[in-house]
Amino acid sequence: MQNASQAALFSLIGNTPLMEVKRIDTGLCQLFLKLESQNPGGSIKDRIGMAMIAAAEADGRLQPGGVVVEATAGNTGIGLALVARIKGYRVVLVVPDKMAVEKVLHLKALGAEIHLTRSDVGKGHPEYYQDYAARLAREIPGAWFADQFNNPANPLAHYSTTGPELWRQSAHDLDAVVVGVGSGGTLAGLTRYFADVQPALEFVLADPKGSILAEYVQTGRLSEVSGSWAVEGIGEDFIPSIADLSRVRAAYTISDEESFQTARLLLREEGILGGSSSGTLLAAALKYCGAQTTPKRVATFVCDTGTRYLTKVYSDGWMFDQGLLARPRLGDL
Ligand code: PMP
């Protein structure tokens, strides 16, 4: 049973606004942004935090007094911790050490226990964040491994909420959706939903440079080597089992520099403070729009709030240190 305070928080998750880009040049397209940054935990992952916990409670995998364990770039952890905290579960998270400090501080404030691990190792390595979390879940009594990368409740949350919201808010008139892939849950849920209501809708992948996903979509080739990228939450060095790339019609590879510059453009021109992956998605959407020869209606996401990247994407000093900005302005930190 949920009490009133649980219901109040949960009713704030999802039903995020859809806004039209007005000042940035979108060519022949109308471009819409779904502001997932407006969720109470600040990201699209609140939806799956709530849905995965509800599903695990329903089938008995998560019992009263249990422990929620997850591997997360931060946002899924925040979504899970937000819900778990209210419901009285302990939360143990494994977070790669490249992630923004604001996310880790937010998680700590929520009472989550954080294991930081290496960002520079891949699947199969004992310190790889997903393998590390799976191991903790086996070792901790009463633990339930949320496992967003394999949990069907993840895409189902997008099938049953994100998809219908987008379709309704676009007045049932949408030609393309631009997505990034982290776990692949957003893409899988949306492809399944739009296969039901608008099968002609095109899916476009926005992928950070260094990830293997865009090349796989473009050539069918699975690269053995992945690079590294500073954008958080999207891009992979493997194909997540729930990601359905078969319906993706176009893919764009976006550099960190372009992602961050585009996130800054979004703030300057439209007044929206988005996270690093929002820059990647918007940059890919603008490329897609620029390539159209007929008018299209296109949607993409502001996946999380930029307040958690103020010390990175929005810091001239950090951008300069990374070689992503020519020269810091005088007087900046
Ligand atoms: N953007 C951000 C900021 C994220 O944290 C994530 C998830 N890690 C995504 C996009 C990707 O979503 P999904 O896991 O549904 O593929």
Q: Which atom of ligand 1 is nearest to the CA of 48?
A: 15
Q: Whose CA is nearest to atom 8 of ligand 1?
A: 233
Question: Could you read off the pLDDT of 96-120 as tens digits, one per residue?
Answer: 998 888 989 999 999 999 999 998 8
Pocket test for ligand 1, best of 234, 238, 259 (most atoms within 8 A of CB): 234
Question: Could you read off the pLDDT of 16-46 as tens digits, one per residue?
Answer: 999 999 999 999 999 999 999 999 999 999 9
Pocket test for ligand 1, best of 154, 186, 242, 280 (most atoms within 8 A of CB): 186
* pLDDT tier, 331 (very low <50, low <70, confident <90, very high otherwise): low
Strand partners, 82: none
Question: What ipTM describes this predicted complex?
Answer: 0.92
Pocket of ligand 1 (CB under 6 A): 43, 45, 73, 75-76, 180-186, 232-234, 275, 277, 303-304
Q: In this predicted structure, which of 18-32, 55-69, 115-129, 136-150 has the lowest mean pLDDT?
A: 115-129
Give residue 133 CA to ligand 1 midpoint distance, Å: 18
Of 34, 45, 209, 296, the active-site residue reads: 45
Enter the pTM of the model. Answer: 0.94
Sequence-ordered strand ranges (E) for the chain: 18-20, 29-35, 67-71, 90-96, 113-117, 143-145, 176-179, 202-208, 248-254, 296-302
* pLDDT tier, 197 (very low <50, low <70, confident <90, very high otherwise): very high
User: Is residue 86 predicted with pLDDT exceeding 60?
Assistant: yes
Region 149-161: mean pLDDT is 97
User: Is residue 1 predicted with pLDDT exceeding 50?
Assistant: no
Note if 45 is an active site residue: yes
124 vs 144, more confident: 144
Q: Whose CA is nearest to atom 11 of ligand 1?
A: 182
pLDDT value, residue 73: 79
236 to 34, 210, 241, 333: CA distances (angstroms) = 23, 8, 12, 32
Strand partners, 299: 32, 177
- The helix-helix angle for 276-290 and 256-270 (nearest 10°) equals 90
Range picked from 84-88, 219-223, 266-270 for highest mean pLDDT: 266-270
Question: Could you read off the pLDDT of 243-259 as tens digits, one per residue?
Answer: 989 999 999 999 999 99
